[in-house]
Amino acid sequence: MSPKPHPLAPLVGPLRYACARNFENLARVKGLRAPIEAALEKGKGALAPAVETALRAELGRVDATDPGVRKASVGRVADLLRGEGLEVGSLSSSRGAERQADPPGPATPPAGRPSGGGLRGAPVAPRPRKPRAPKKPAATKEAEDAPARMLSISPAEGPLARPLRGAGWRMNPQLLKHLERKGVRTLGDALFLVPRAYEDRRVLRHIAQLRAGERSTFVAEVRAVDESRGRGKRIFKAVLADASGSIAATHYQGGSWLKSRYPIGRKLVVSGEVRQSTWGWEIPHPETEPADDLETSAVHFKRVVPIYPGFERHEQRQLRELTFRVAKELAGAIDDPLPPPLRERVGLVGLADALTALHFPAGNADLEALEAHRSSAHQRLAFDELFFLQLGMALKRQGLKREAGIAFDVSAERVARAKSLLPFAPTGAQDRVLAQILRDMGRPEPMNRLLQGDVGSGKTAVALVAAAVAVESGLQVAVMAPTEILAAQHARTFRSGLAALGVEVALVTGSGPARERAQAREAAAAGRARVAIGTHALIQDPIAFERLGLVIIDEQHRFGVIQRHALMAKGATPDVLVMTATPIPRTLAMTLYGDLDVSILDELPPGRTPIETRVFPAKARPAALALIEGELAKGHQAFVVYPLVEESEKLDLADATQGAAQLGAELAGRRVGLLHGRMKQDEKDAVMRSFREKQLDVLVSTTVIEVGVDVPNASVMVVEHAERFGLSQLHQLRGRVGRGAARSFCLLFAGGRSEDAQARLEVMAQTTDGFVIAEKDLELRGPGELLGTRQSGLPEMVVANLARDQALLALAQEEARAIVERDPTLAEPAHRPLAKALAERWEGRLKLAGVG
């Protein structure tokens, strides 16, 4: 006879799947309302009223079209399931699931196939937690060998630097080997491990006090074990009892190893979700540990105990003994590098106390705060993670400032003349940002500034004024663009903008006739060309300048942290202005660009008509075509973009070529051009030129970057397979239209039949604020995805969380900069421990983040 499952058990599979890896699959999970309703119906009377009410409240939100609303709702449902002791996987915060998931447990179901038989599948029992099979599946093995998640790097000297092996401590050799495989080598390393969860053993219930649906921990003796077969599976049952009653620990899919875990007559501490089945009380797949020392142990009982990620349950006890002893005997040996006044200002506990409480929280600890990494211990450690990164960047920023730079002439008169080169009056935001840039340029220290602004906010105009000031001071300007097309476009803008000053502008690219390229280089070297504009060619092949004073890097949609440093290293110490059109959330900007000063252009030039964005499912194509045709009939032009399919450039090209042909047929009589990455530069130039000169009505392009061009007459941006782009990318594309006064459109074609993709795309229709879209993207895809790659330069954080710890990060930056400003080499006695900790414990981390 099979046990009666928890009424909410059918939701476990879908929720697990939806939450996996920070909601990666959310878009593929649909129609959660129906199964929740069904579960509520089935659970009538069995569910706690509070749970029922809370779950009911989510019915209206869980399928919301707004992905943010939906994600939050799914997160709350998952929390409710967790509260019921059902295992739905990792936390819903922005930290990656890999880091908190329970490695030895069952793996997340593969994409597209939620566990539990799908959304409307048969009820399933809660997934077992960490079954210890005799033969481990490969995935589990891998997780077990994955490097341990440690806070920074433990001290290189002193008692904490002693290796585990040879410390003279009695340790299980198996555990020792496992620790070493995971990179935990010293006593200090053990202290720097971060628990994944905590188990509350302060109050142990009697069996008679247990309540169905609650996750609880109790101590009982093994009375009997029994193995049976049901539906081809081995079911293992152990009868556990205390003075008040008995309960069965059940393992579906048993194994011979279970017998050794439940030796008859042994006292165990058992933890899991209790339920009442048709044949009595049971606790399916509990976690167990020996409890013979219930009365005597100060380590394992009468307290909240840590559970470490990547270690099996039977190892937890031994590991806990190790961390307990290290914390007790050696935590005091660790120097707290933070000066006491700083700690006091920010309200942080001492490092030794934090590390001790991280493993062994105080008796009155708040379990929820612990698990959410919000305890005072976690906050202290999170601060350290954020602070040392900011300190590293502040030192670098200060170091650059102390180098001899160029003081440009930024007299009012000269600035006014530079501004007068613009064919329009600057916006308020442009004036404000220019004042910041020019103040930097006027100082004898090198400028190192980031200019953030949405596409079309007028960054190029700002750059032009800065360049004019530099040129008038007798220095050269280098402008680096991400693509040749953009470099050519900037060259045109700068040539016409600076024409009144009689300035020669050289276009330095990696392609084109060798003689022209050589001439451009020679003009820059001889100083004839006062402005050199180019792509990576500017830094790749060495180009000499006569007197380089200002470097402007237009990153557009890229986060080229690496290139930026390469150009800065070139020549003396020119002023550097990095422009990025990808609005990024504040916390990310501070983490990525903490060594820069940031200016923000948050106002669009006047006369813009907002772009109208519409999402079209594939079947609505005729309506979209009619709209395009209407715009073309008014004499406007259209861009059509195909996503870049990374695996296959050929496929990509076929897609676009075919798309261009199809469009040509659909828009009979219209001139359709094609631009793709495999064309030669002069071919690309020719196509771009004819589009700009209105000899083409429609430009079909394969990549995002190739369309980073300014064609004011274009009023329609069509994105094919829009679901394959991130929201921030779509925002970039959209910014390519709406540059003139005409009403413009952005039409997003959602491929396939996915309603969820369409729902995500609707965000684009709802807002045109790049910062709002970036926050959404961060929420939906996490920082790594938002920034494009893992090499984005974003350091990995173990305790800190960029989405949650905004205030803490701001404090960390403020404190770090204040210290470095006063003491640029950290030479004051009060700051020496900071320098030491930075070098000893954080250096490796900072290097990864591109600082150092």
Torsion sign, CA atoms 458, 459, 460, 462:
positive
Q: Is 222 helix (H, G, I), strand (E, B) or coil?
A: strand
Q: In terms of residues, how long is the chain?
A: 852
Q: Is 739 in the site for ligand ADP (CB under 6 A)?
A: yes
- Residue 748: its H or E element: strand 745-750
Pattern 325-364, binding to ligand ADP, x per CB under 6 A?
Answer: ----------------------------------------
How big is the site for ligand ADP, counted in residues (CB under 6 A)? 16
Buried-state track 433-452, b at ≥16 Cβ within 10 A, e below 16: bbebbbebbbbebbbbbbbb
Candidates 366-374, 460-468, 676-684, 843-851: pick the segment binding Mg ion (CB under 5 A): 460-468
* Residues ≥6 apart with Cβ < 8 Å to 34: 119, 120
Residues 78, 18: Cα–Cα separation, whole Å? 9
Query: Least Å distance between CB 598 and ligand ADP?
Result: 15
| Residue 526 burial by Cβ neighbours in a 10 Å radius (0-12, 13-18, 19+) | exposed
Query: Least Å distance between CB 806 and ligand ADP?
Result: 26
Candidates 6-14, 454-462, 746-754, 789-797: pick the segment binding Mg ion (CB under 5 A): 454-462
Residues 26, 791: Cα–Cα separation, whole Å? 25
Pattern 578-607, binding to ligand ADP, x per CB under 6 A?
Answer: ---x-----------------------x--
Q: Is 460 in the site for Mg ion (CB under 5 A)?
A: yes
CA distances from 826 to 33, 351, 363, 591 (A): 57, 20, 39, 21
| C-beta nearest to Mg ion: residue | 460
Phi, psi of 10 (to 5 degrees): -60, -15
Of residues 604 and 787, the one with the C-beta less far from ligand ADP: 604
Of residues 460 and 701, the one with the C-beta less far from Mg ion: 460
CA end-to-end distance (rounded Å), the chain = 64
Candidates 136-144, 212-220, 404-412, 458-466: pick the segment binding Mg ion (CB under 5 A): 458-466
Within residues 697-716, the interface with ligand ADP by CB under 6 A covers 710
Letter for the amino acid at 662? Q
Of residues 238 and 551, the one with the C-beta less far from ligand ADP: 551
Of residues 429 and 794, the one with the C-beta less far from ligand ADP: 429
Q: Which does 279 bind (CB under 5 to 8 A by kind): ligand ADP, Mg ion, none?
A: none
Torsion sign, CA atoms 214, 215, 219, 221:
positive
Q: Which does 427 bind (CB under 5 to 8 A by kind): Mg ion, ligand ADP, none?
A: ligand ADP
| Residue 185 burial by Cβ neighbours in a 10 Å radius (0-12, 13-18, 19+) | middle
Residues 608, 642: Cα–Cα separation, whole Å? 26
Letter for the amino acid at 418? A
Pattern 424-453, binding to ligand ADP, x per CB under 6 A?
Answer: x-xx--x----------------------x
Within residues 228-257, the interface with ligand ADP by CB under 6 A covers none
Candidates 359-367, 459-467, 754-762, 790-798: pick the segment binding Mg ion (CB under 5 A): 459-467
Query: Least Å distance between CB 556 and ligand ADP?
Result: 8
Q: Kindly tell me which residue out of 261, 397, 459, 517 binds ligand ADP, with binding defined by CB under 6 A.
A: 459
Q: Which does 784 bind (CB under 5 to 8 A by kind): Mg ion, ligand ADP, none?
A: none
Query: Least Å distance between CB 453 and ligand ADP?
Result: 5
Of residues 639 and 749, the one with the C-beta less far from ligand ADP: 639
Place of tokens 């002069």: 682
Q: Kindly tell me which residue out of 186, 452, 457, 587 binds ligand ADP, with binding defined by CB under 6 A.
A: 457
Residue-by-residue DSSP string for 64-126: -SSHHHHHHHHHHHHHHHHHTT----S-SSSS-HHHHS-TTSPPPPPTT--TTTSTT----PP
Give the interface with ligand ADP as residue ranges (CB under 6 A): 424, 426-427, 430, 453, 455-461, 581, 605, 710, 739
Give the interface with Mg ion as residue ranges (CB under 5 A): 460
